[in-house]
Amino acid sequence: MTGAAFAPSVAAQTTAVSPATPVVAQITAVEASLLAFVVLTALATALARDVLAAIIVFGAYSLGMAALYAFYRAPDVALTEAAISAGVTTVLLLLTLAKTTRIDHDVAFESVNVPAAGAAGILLAGLLLTMGDVPAVGSPDAPVWSNPDVTQWYLGESYAQTGVENTVMAVLAAFRGFDTFGEAVVVFAAGVAALIVLHREVFA
């Protein structure tokens, strides 16, 4: 399906729902499970005393975030999270640990820093207060969806301007191509830096 053909269907879906129709945000069981998993693994990573355990739990946290991004219909971000954070970062941390001395701990978790936990709780409460203004996923009333000057223009003109049928790929590779190129350069520079740190000239 081309971008030009996709635009009328999008417009039809947008106009089919009246702006006065309330869209109630409901957390599904899958979403709640992913959110709970991410929070628990983040806390375990921060409090774990054993470095190896922290690295493993951090990898699980990154995979949970990747699944959450995919659930929220951001597959490009999910792939980046899975490849860079869960993949490359975890491998580099494990290699660093292999080249250093691992200290055994009698206690599995660190004691909670009360002032830091209080500050984090205040920040979390402030963020939760803003959730009421966040539109539901897929809501036609969301500004990013209903804005005719931006979103609808990309949906209607991406194929005509770039010849790419997938609107997301058209935006990433064409309209914001320099930004995507910069991100690729950063990833490449990180790989070169990792090779330098590991005293390797090529990947094996």
Report pLDDT for 114. Answer: 84
User: How far apart (Å, rounded) are the C-alpha atoms in residues 133 and 141?
Assistant: 12
Sorting pLDDT into bands at 50, 70 and 90, what band is 107?
Answer: low
User: Which has more pLDDT, 117 or 15?
Assistant: 117
3-state secondary structure at position 48 = strand
Report pLDDT for 77. Answer: 84
Alpha-carbon distances, residue 109 vs 43, 56, 106, 113 (angstroms):
10, 14, 9, 12
Report pLDDT for 105. Answer: 66
**Structural domains of the chain in order of their starting residue, each with its CATH number:** 1-17+137-204 (no CATH), 26-134 (1.20.120.1200)
Please, what is the angle between helix 51-71 and helix 90-98, to 10°?
170
Report pLDDT for 49. Answer: 83
For residue range 21-32, list pLDDT tens digits in order: 444 456 788 888
User: Considering the chain, what percentage of its residues have pLDDT values greater than 90?
Assistant: 14
Start-end of H helices in 50-176: 51-71, 75-80, 90-98, 114-129, 143-146, 151-162, 167-170
Whether the per-residue pLDDT at 57 is higher than 80: the answer is yes
3-state secondary structure at position 109 = strand
Whether the per-residue pLDDT at 19 is higher than 80: the answer is no
- DSSP 3-state helix, strand, coil percentages of the chain (rounded to 5)? 70, 0, 30
User: Which has more pLDDT, 147 or 167?
Assistant: 167
Sorting pLDDT into bands at 50, 70 and 90, what band is 134?
Answer: confident
Q: Which amino acid is at 60?
A: A
Sorting pLDDT into bands at 50, 70 and 90, what band is 122?
Answer: very high
Determine how many CB atoms are found less than 10 A away from the CB of residue 70: 17
User: Considering the chain, what percentage of its residues have pLDDT values greater than 70?
Assistant: 80
Sorting pLDDT into bands at 50, 70 and 90, what band is 14?
Answer: very low
Radius of gyration of the chain (CA): 22
Reading the block at residue 20, the tokens are 């006065």
- Which helix (H) or strand (E) segment holds residue 41: the answer is helix 29-47
The model's pTM is 0.62
* HSE of 5, CA atoms in CB hemisphere, 13 A: 6
193 CB contacts (<8 Å, ≥6 apart)? none
